[in-house]
Amino acid sequence: MILLLIVCNIFQAQTNNIEKGLSEKRTYQELEKEFYNGKTWDVGSKRNIAKYYLKKAKLEKNNTHIAEGYVMMHFDETLPNALKYIDSLQLITKNSTENYYPARIYLLRGNLNLRFDNLQASLNNYILGLKYAKEKRNKKQIAMAHISIASLNNYIGKHAETAKTFRHYLYNADYLDETEHDNLRFNLADAYIEINKMDSAYTLIQEGLQSSKKNDNVYAYHQNLGLLGYYNLQLKNYQMAIDNLLQCQKYFFTTYNPSKRNENYTLLNLGKSYAGLKEKDKAITCFRKIDSMVFKTHYVYPELREVYTYLINYYKSNNDKENQLYYVERFLEVDQILDTQFRYISRELPRRYDAPKLELEKELISNELKYRKSLFYIVISLLLISHLLFINFYFKYKKSEKKYKKIAQDLIQSVSENRVSEDIELKNRALPNNLPVEDAENTSSKIISEDIVQNILKELEIFESKDQFLNKGITLGSLAKKIKTNSRYLSETINTYKGKNFATYLNDLRIDYAISRLASDRKFRSYKLPFIAEELGYNNEQAFTLAFKKRTGTPLSVYLKEIENIKSI
């Protein structure tokens, strides 16, 4: 006894020293990484990590990490003990400002109850978790709540709806981590098999197998291999299914795994594959093992009805009344549980999840319709306004067109009567009025002598008669030099006696020449506008057309068109 006590004390001291050393030397992040991402499923190792983590957090009085410690401790516990840890989590996070509380508490409770086959409590907690996740706008928790509820939908046979949810989050939720993404892919493949989308299911299964090999995740590899077995079973490739499932059986029944589903569904699909090959004894062996596991764990699922039906029919055909009666009673027990769960889930899911979701969709659709209606009225109003503006513009255009045509026709008429310049001067009221000759002479004589003025006017007459204004690059300075005077005298004379500045004087001469020549010279009229503009002394076509419109009050195109119309008559 003394020796035993000494050994126990030494062991306890060593354990305390290990825990103390681990708590002091390792960071929370290191402990979390080993707990959540470690490849070992050893319960003892994970429990020790959780204990070290929680003890360290309590020693340091760090509430955030104490909360995480309670989360870690609740895994792999019995339902009552696990619920106690989550209750402690709820208490310590009561005043937490983190946006993942309190939704995390209800989602954890939902997962825990689902693991222990308490679907009613699981659904209730998922609904509450979704509510709080939406309040805190935590999109990852919203996604996890929807995914979890979709799994319950799958349980009651709504496989297409389940697949739709899984597909949405698999391809549109980049905020989910790699493990969550892998689980989604696995569950979506399973749902695809249920709705007979076999090609899509096979693609996802192969992705899962490759991903698990790449990450050296043996557990995930065998999960996907088991799904491949179910895929082959549905295609009636029974031997291929058996080959897949025997590997899974060897792994799941000799290695710890956290899910009772793996063992049960491996045996279920293995038994159904044997039944497909008419190997009844092997099928019965699998189904009897399933019944034994259900009896011990109380883990029930809808496919158990097939298991017990097969067992009952088998023993009935062999006239084994005792076993037939036993499995009839077991069937009735399991069926009652399944019926209760099915009725609750099938009643509450539409009422508490689908209905609110439909109400929200209804509101969104209603708002969209209102928006579309408003948009329709806005578009109609804009179309009406634009139509009215177009009508207004059209009539203004027609009115302007009529005015332009009249001006063009008058110009053509004036060419035939050799009075182009006088006719334009009368029409163009924007030009300044000429000064009275008497005043002009009196004003000019004060600045420039009469002889100089007369000489300049004579030179300008020559300049005009010989069409020298058509030369390119004419400036006030170059013309003054040509007629042997200075720029000031020339400018004053043109302003006084021509009633315009030099630039206007030059442009008017060129446009008056263009009006006459275009009307009378068909060959000149056939040239392209850039060439005509260059012939008239302009640097480019735009300068010519602008000057023409400014001088005449009508566009050049209208003038040319009217010439052709008149000449063709």
User: What's the distance, CA 518 to chain centroid?
Assistant: 62
Q: Which pLDDT score, from 0 to 100, does residue 41 have?
A: 59
Q: Provide DSSP, 124-163.
A: HHHHHHHHHHHHHT-HHHHHHHHHHHHHHHHHTT-HHHHH
Structural domain contains residue 390: no
Give the global pTM: 0.60
Predicted confidence (pLDDT) per residue in 287-336, tens digit: 999 999 999 988 888 899 999 999 999 999 999 999 999 999 999 998 88
Three-point CA angle 457, 510, 545, nearest 5°: 150
Structural domain contains residue 527: yes
Structural domain contains residue 350: no
Decide: 552 and 407 in contact? Cβ < 8 Å.
Answer: yes
Tokens of 82: 């696990």
Predicted confidence (pLDDT) per residue in 5-45, tens digit: 554 555 454 444 444 444 457 899 999 888 887 555 567 88
Q: What is the DSSP letter of 436?
A: P
Decide: 245 and 202 in contact? Cβ < 8 Å.
Answer: no
Highest mean pLDDT among 295-304, 404-413, 421-430, 540-549: 540-549
Nearest to 553 by CA among 373, 379, 409, 363: 409
**10: enclosing H helix or E strand:** helix 2-25
**Reduced to 3 states, what is the DSSP secondary structure of residue 279?**
coil
Structural domain contains residue 113: no
**Reduced to 3 states, what is the DSSP secondary structure of residue 474?**
coil
Q: Indicate which CATH number applies to the domain containing 521.
A: 1.10.10.60
Dihedral angle, C-alpha 32, 33, 36, 41, nearest 10 °: -110
Mean pLDDT (whole number) for 133-147? 94
Residue 446 is which amino acid? K
Distance CA 118, CA 308 (A): 22
Distance CA 28, CA 422 (A): 100
Q: Other C-beta atoms within 10 Å of 320: how many?
A: 13
Tokens of 419: 């009075």
**404: enclosing H helix or E strand:** helix 355-416
Q: How confident is the model at residue 439 (pLDDT cuts 50, 70, 90)?
A: very low
Which residue reads 């063709």 in tokens? 568
Predicted confidence (pLDDT) per residue in 190-242, tens digit: 999 999 999 999 999 999 999 999 989 999 999 999 999 999 999 999 999 99
Distance CA 358, CA 504 (A): 77
Mean pLDDT (whole number) for 440-454? 68
Decide: 415 and 563 in contact? Cβ < 8 Å.
Answer: no
Structural domain contains residue 481: yes
Q: How many residues does the chain have?
A: 569
Domain region containing 429: 406-567
Nearest to 273 by CA among 283, 264, 265: 283
Which residue reads 């799941």 in tokens? 252
Three-point CA angle 120, 122, 124, nearest 5°: 70
Which residue reads 């954890």 in tokens? 108
Q: Which pLDDT score, from 0 to 100, does residue 354 have?
A: 57
**Reduced to 3 states, what is the DSSP secondary structure of residue 527?**
coil
**380: enclosing H helix or E strand:** helix 355-416
Q: Provide DSSP, 72-120.
A: HHHTTS-HHHHHHHHHHHHHHTTT---TTTTHHHHHHHHHHHHHTT-HH
Helix ranges (DSSP H) in 448-555: 450-465, 476-482, 487-493, 502-520, 522-526, 529-535, 541-552
Q: Other C-beta atoms within 10 Å of 522: how many?
A: 11
Predicted confidence (pLDDT) per residue in 181-192, tens digit: 999 999 999 999
Which residue reads 């021509």 in tokens? 498
Distance CA 63, CA 61 (A): 6
**248: enclosing H helix or E strand:** helix 238-252
Number of domains the chain is built from: 1
Structural domain contains residue 101: no
Longest distance between any two alpha carbons in the chain, whole Å: 149
Predicted confidence (pLDDT) per residue in 93-114, tens digit: 999 999 999 999 999 999 999 8
Structural domain contains residue 475: yes
Residue 392 is which amino acid? N
Structural domain contains residue 359: no
Distance CA 427, CA 408 (A): 12
Q: Report the chain's C-alpha Rg in angstroms.
A: 49
Distance CA 116, CA 240 (A): 32
Q: How confident is the model at residue 414 (pLDDT cuts 50, 70, 90)?
A: confident
For the chain, report the end-to-end CA distance as a whole number of angstroms: 138
Predicted confidence (pLDDT) per residue in 348-384, tens digit: 766 666 555 555 555 556 667 777 788 888 888 888 8
Q: Other C-beta atoms within 10 Å of 179: how many?
A: 13
Distance CA 193, CA 8 (A): 55
Distance CA 408, CA 418 (A): 15
